[in-house]
Structure 1
Amino acid sequence: MIYEVRTYDLIVRGVPDTLKAFSACIEKRQELSPLVGFWFTEVGPLNQIVHIWKYDDANHRAEIRAEAVKHDWWPPKIRPYLLRQHVELCIPWDFSPIPEPGEHGPYYEMRSYMIQPGYMPQSKERWKQAIHERMERSPMSVVMETDIGDASKIIHIWPYGSLDERQAVRDKALADGLWPPAPKPGDELEVQTQENKIMLPAPFSPMR
């Protein structure tokens, strides 16, 4: 299983019209392959949408995309609002939850970490030791690493009912020494850079 993470930068005030264009055809597109979630940014890089699609593998993705563009309704007509597109294919970690449709947010924090080349196994092991207890504090939707796109990158998504809840959970996890998971003695911290964004779901997003 792979997840395609598509991030579009839009012109200022381009989000409403872009969501409207997607809403007109998204149900038809989901008949071909499942949409995991569709969001727009509220905090962080503004005028941005993020949509995630689930496929069996890269060949399945190629087949579905070839089928989709045979129809005049896909892709939606958003060129007037589109500045750039960024696409990543990601593989979920073996202990990652499976993103499920439903009411989980409405606030979703998407965090992206660049990892030193060759240190991904160390990072995964650190997470594995602490993630289940961390998810008892608040759920995680998914954690995955890039296979195609920005190399050596982790993407993880956390839903919260409010930004106050997010802050309280994170402060308590830090105070308890639970999260972020500390490196083992003698290990070098492998995280090079970190980015985050707060997103809200589109009206038609399966994850809300």
Structure 2
Amino acid sequence: MIVEMRTYTLRPGTLAEVEKRFGEALHIREKHSKLAAFWHTEVGPLNQIIHVWEYEDFKHRAEARAASQKEEGWPPPIREFVTAQQSEVFHPAPFSPKLTPRQVGPLFEIRQYTLAAGQIPGLIERWSEKIEGRTKFSPLVGGWYSEFGALNKWVHIWAYKDANERFSVRAAAAATGNWPARNPPGVVVKQENAFVMPSAFSPIR
């Protein structure tokens, strides 16, 4: 299983129209593979949409994308609003949940860590020992490591009811002494996070 996360940066003031057009055309694309999530940024890099697709493998991804391009009405007419595009492909960690439709938000935090080369296996091992305790406080949406795009990247996505719950959950998890899963010095070289909200048609919301 692989996960593709596509991030598009939009012209300011165009988000509502982009989501409308994307949502109207989505049924065409989903003839070939299903959307897992569709979010827009609330805090962090603004004017971005993030759509997440799950595939069986790279062959499935190539076939689904090729077939969808032959459909009338796909891709949606949003190019005039897009100023930048980024595509990254990830492998789920063994403990990463399936990307099945569910209502667990509506606030999601996407945390992206760049690690020193060769450190992904060790991080996954440390997380595997502690993740069960952390998910008692709030749902994990995904824990993925990069295959294509920015390398040596670890992405973890958490769901919360609102920002207040996010702060209280993180404090409660830390108070157990079991979280976070501590990394040795030098393992993590860069950290980024963003708060995102789901579109009306996002399966994970």
TM-score bracket for this pair, using the shorter chain length? over 0.9
1:189 CA drift (Å)? 4.1
Deviations 1:54-102 (A, max 9, x none): 1111111111111111112111111111001000111000111112212
Query: 2:159 is paired with a residue of what secondary structure?
Result: strand
Q: Quick one: distance in 2 between partners of 1:145 and 1:30?
A: 25
What amino acid sits opposite 2:23 in the alignment? Answer: S
TM-score by length of 1: 0.95
1:166 aligns with: 166
Q: Does 1:19 align with 2:16?
A: no
Aligned residue for 1:198? 195
Gaps of 5+ in 2: none
Name the % identity: 41
Task: Tell me how far apart the structure 2 counterparts of residues 74 and 52 of structure 1 sit (CA, whole Å).
Answer: 17
Spell out, residue by residue over 1:129-181, the C-alpha distance to the aligned partner (whole angstroms, 9 max, x if none): 11110011111011010111100101111111111001000012223322221
Equivalents in 2 of 1:99, 1:157: separation in Å?
12
In the alignment, what sits opposite 1:6?
6
TM-score (norm 2): 0.96
Unaligned runs of 5+ residues in structure 1 are none
Structure 1 stretches of 4+ moved >4 Å? none
Aligned to 1:69: 69
2:156 alignment counterpart: 156
The correspondence of residues 47-66 of structure 1 with structure 2, limited to 5 A, is 47-66=47-66
Matched to 1:134, the amino acid is: R
Task: Give 3-state SS (helix, strand or coil) of 1:25's partner.
Answer: helix
> What secondary structure, in the 3-state scheme, does the structure 2 residue paired with 1:61 have?
helix
User: What SS does structure 2 have at the residue aligned with 1:141?
Assistant: strand
TM superposition shift of 1:188: 3.4
Q: Secondary structure at the match of 2:50?
A: strand
For 1:105 and 1:22, locate their aligned partners in 2 and report how far apart those are by CA, in whole Å.
21
What secondary structure, in the 3-state scheme, does the structure 1 residue paired with 2:135 have? helix
Task: Report the counterpart of residue 38 of structure 1 in structure 2.
Answer: 38
Q: Which amino acid aligns with 1:202?
A: S
Paired amino acid for 1:86: Q
State the distance in 2 between where 1:53 and 1:75 align. Answer: 15
* Aligned residue-pair number: 205
Equivalent of residue 188 in structure 1, options 167, 185, 188 = 185
Distance 1:175 1:110 in 2: 22
Structure 1 residue 18 displacement after superposition? 0.6
Q: How does 1:127-166 map to 2 (within 5 A)?
A: 127-166=127-166
SS in 2 for 1:136: coil
Counterpart amino acid of residue 185 in structure 2: E
RMSD: 1.1
